[in-house]
Structure 1
Amino acid sequence: MLKVDPAALSDDELLDRYQRAAFSYFLDNVNPENGLVADTSRPNSPASIAVVGFALSCYPIGVERGWVTREAAVRLTLAALRFFSTSPQGSGEGVAGHKGFYYHFLDMRTGLRVWRCELSMVDTALLIAGMLVAGAYFCGDTDEEAEIRQLAEALYRRVDWRWAQGSSPTLRQGWKPKSGFLHYGWEGYNEAIILYVLSMAAPDKPTSDNSYAGWTATYQWENIYGYDVLYGGPLFMHQFSHAWIDFAGIRDAFMREKNSDYFENSRRATYLHRDYARHNPYGFGGYGENLWGLSAGDGPGRFRARVERRPHRFSGYAARGAPFGPDDGTIAPWSYPASLPFAPDICMAALRHLKDRYPEVIDNFRLPSGFNPTLANRRKFGRNGWISEGHFGLDQGIVVMMTENHRSRLIWELMRSNQHIRRGLQKAGFTGGWLSQPASAAPGDRDVA
């Protein structure tokens, strides 16, 4: 096989290779018996319920792009939905979830809770969002596709969102059997819009009508590098909810007051990260016009080293952000395709620069969780610095979904057709844009542009 020169590829051809490589993560790391998908490609990794949500959202993309047959995608989707439908629930041991929510990490084989992890509200929301994508896309008249639709609706209705508020107007972040709700809720803007939209729209056990307003009251509006922006340090906060919902042109009360919307806010946040790298206040290696992007992801480990003659603390897995940190020189390169809908020009330039300048960072077009060029040529690290081992399902999922939204808007169009998404947005106070138009039919059988 001839080796392809990335410089000779058009933007769409290049994106196709990155997107397909990311999609293959799910086929490589799924248990076909129960549909669970590993959190990472590292040996003995448990399943992540959020990664399963991304997988369920990505299977339709794979079908449309010809990377997996519709029949195979139906089998994997049904395996996951049937597992979650029949998996044990309860407040004791040996369960997968409680009150319709699920534990953050599950054993890949048994599907039961591992690591004494928390019952996760936001990760359950990402899982449910994936189920609703599946229900919208698989609209055929076969028994299998009808079962997908039935199970997706039933699993969404089973979640007791009101219970997850505890005694607070806002949702809690998690719960554990022996200690109850975690002692913190959602503070400030982050990836939780999809959580509130789904919880407020629930037909049977929704959150209170003031829950979303209670959360937005904690927002932090800033002016940074000349950008008026709703602050969220890591880029994933500006990407995850957008993977399912097109926020361009629709506004809640907060954004109406600021004369903006969440899509525009994510665009500004993307440019802010680029400008932060231009300023490079800590003198990290490689930072600049085409190497930027801090997010949640893997890191080189906990140690101290000197950068530009100043001591600096490095971290393992962390939620890095700009400009207020934390920052240890670790770039999240998957954030480029994940921000394509917001700022395609600078994201494509960054992707091409990465491939040209740091080819060893990219594993056959699959992007790593992180790499740190500041550590280049130091002891224990290679000439490109530290590169994350293995791959993370969340990173690969957001690459597939946001690249597809940039290329064809497939997931956005599917979710526009979903009555729950529309109702949740309206209950949260969103108006205008496509919400003013009648719901269109789900594009389950159309050709991809």
Structure 2
Amino acid sequence: MTTSAGSSHHSRHERDSSRILDVVQRQTLRFFWEFGHPVSGLARERITIGQPLDDCVAIGASGMGVMAIIAGAERGWISRDDALKRLLTMVRFLERAPSYHGVFPHWMDGRTGATMPFSRKDDGGDLVETAFLLQGLLCVRQYFQREEPDERELRGLINRIWGDVEWDWYTRGGIKMLYWHWSPNHDWSMDYEIRGWNECLMAYILAASSPQHAIDPKVYHGGWAQGRDFRNGRTYYDIELPLGPDYGGGLCFTHYSFLGLDPRGLKDRYADYWRQNVHHVLINREHCIRNPHNFKGYGPDCWGLTSDDTDEGYRPLHPANDLGFIAPDAALASFPYAPEAAMLALRHFCGPLRDRIWGECGFTSAFSETKDWYSRDYIGVDEGPIVVMIENYRSGLLWRLFMSCPEVRSGLARLGFESPHMA
């Protein structure tokens, strides 16, 4: 008797959890689907509750958004045809928009395609945002494989955009690393090297995978892997951290590049990336449980520090720079790595905090109970990982699509990675 009662309770609990995940994914998807830009279809940088929508669209968030749209199509929340039409609109727009040696800017005008400067000198190509865009577009290409005209056109446009990115140009003539920005007005004057460990791994993976403009593997080993914060190996809260800065940095490091890149069984000479990401999440959560600064609300069901909004603007938040602000996306995009802990956080966010942090596009960007401050904004790079990483936890869909790209497999092999997808 007890067994069947126990199992029916268990299955009821599973159904309940599944229903909650449906609600969160579906509501969050609205940011990209219902609030996508009306002309280009691209994802907005942010939406502020009570403020008129503007024309600023974000390239990285658009890559995350197309992955969210695939998840919505696969779950039947959007029809395949509607998804295909929207994605064609986006890709046709991108194909005509200005790029800088094939690399898109951080922000563009969703009506005209004109580059919108991210900062005074950041008015050209942004390699990392472009990598996040392409991570998504390659998943789209792999998903829409039917032999009919619209799907063929979509694949062809994505291949053209992908092939046009001059990753090798962003080594500044063969310097052994990638650079984040190049501008026709300011050249290399931003001088920002992309070194590990952080959220930018995808830029190196795609640069090594490029059909026309691949980098030499030495750029990965001599640039990315030589970053000051690359190797760690120390323990924090009794948990070993293979790579990254002290306490691991913001949780976007385990999310942004791993929306498509499947960390399960992914290894190279530097790390086992599943272990890396799980440990990073556990350290971040344990910091919130131990709560050394005694911030209000922190605990086993209220955790998650990553770059996000505060009452004084957007800040890099992590255990070594903890200002008392929890970002719901940090915990919720960690579902693959710590599902029980993420579900505790989700139930808490849906419980006592719901009226302050939940709205028409899911959860807002951040909150501080200490300061009684609750964000009025939805940010594209927060909303995308919530939908995509919950989907990867539930079905592995985006991981499977991205890892099915033959170019990605050969790029990973060139860099010395191993993965079950490459067997």
What is the TM-score normalised by the length of structure 1? 0.84
Match of 1:26 in 2: 32
Give the one of 219, 226, 230 matched to 1:217.
226
- Three-state SS of the structure 2 residue aligned to 1:357 is coil
Alignment of 1:274-423 (within 5 A): 274-301=285-312, 316-322=313-319, 324-325=320-321, 327-360=322-355, 361-363=357-359, 366-375=362-371, 385-423=372-410
Q: How many angstroms apart in 2 are the aligned matches of 1:8 and 1:211?
A: 46
Distance 1:432 1:412, change over 3 A: closer
Alignment of 1:25-424 (within 5 A): 25-42=31-48, 43-44=53-54, 46-87=56-97, 96-115=98-117, 116=120, 117-118=122-123, 119-167=125-173, 168-181=175-188, 182-214=190-222, 215-218=224-227, 219-221=230-232, 222-229=234-241, 230-231=243-244, 232-255=248-271, 261-301=272-312, 316-322=313-319, 324-325=320-321, 327-360=322-355, 361-363=357-359, 366-375=362-371, 385-424=372-411
Gap regions ≥5 residues in structure 2 = 1-12
Contact 2:307 2:317 in 1 (8 A): yes
CA deviations over 1:91-116 (Å, ceiling 9, x no partner):
xxxxx321100111001211111135
- Three-state SS of the structure 2 residue aligned to 1:212 is helix
Contact 1:250 1:435 in 2 (8 A): no
For the pair 1:16 / 2:22, whether they are aligned, the reply is yes
What letter is aligned with 1:109? R
Which stretch of structure 1 is more off in the superposition, 357-366 or 137-146? 357-366
CA deviations over 1:185-228 (Å, ceiling 9, x no partner):
12330112211111111111111221111211221313211111
- Three-state SS of the structure 1 residue aligned to 2:398 is helix
What letter is aligned with 1:413? R
- Three-state SS of the structure 2 residue aligned to 1:210 is helix
- Three-state SS of the structure 2 residue aligned to 1:331 is coil
Q: How many angstroms apart in 1 are the aligned matches of 2:347 and 2:340?
A: 11
Which stretch of structure 1 is more off in the superposition, 363-372 or 278-287? 363-372
Q: How many angstroms apart in 2 are the aligned matches of 1:103 and 1:364?
A: 28
Q: How many angstroms apart in 1 are the aligned matches of 2:300 and 2:253?
A: 22
Give the one of 425, 438, 445 matched to 2:412.
425
Contact 1:196 1:424 in 2 (8 A): no
Contact 1:339 1:347 in 2 (8 A): yes
Distance 1:161 1:284, change over 3 A: same
What letter is aligned with 2:363? L
Q: Give the fraction of aligned pairs with identical amino acids, expressed as a percent.
A: 30
CA deviations over 1:28-79 (Å, ceiling 9, x no partner):
2223432222111133250001111112212211111111111111111111
- Three-state SS of the structure 2 residue aligned to 1:317 is strand
Contact 2:100 2:182 in 1 (8 A): no
Match of 1:379 in 2: none
The alignment yields a C-alpha RMSD, in angstroms, of 1.7
What letter is aligned with 1:71? D
In the comparison of the two structures, how many residue pairs are matched?
392
Q: Indicate the structure with greater helix content.
A: 2
- Three-state SS of the structure 1 residue aligned to 2:328 is coil
Match of 1:305 in 2: none
What letter is aligned with 2:100? H
Distance 1:8 1:192, change over 3 A: closer
Q: How many angstroms apart in 2 are the aligned matches of 1:45 and 1:337?
A: 28
What is the TM-score normalised by the length of structure 2? 0.89
Contact 1:404 1:410 in 2 (8 A): yes
Contact 1:32 1:76 in 2 (8 A): no
CA deviations over 1:402-432 (Å, ceiling 9, x no partner):
0100111111111221111111111111024
Q: How many angstroms apart in 2 are the aligned matches of 1:234 and 1:295?
A: 4
CA deviations over 1:158-191 (Å, ceiling 9, x no partner):
0111000115211101122222222221233011
Q: How many angstroms apart in 2 are the aligned matches of 1:8 and 1:407?
A: 12
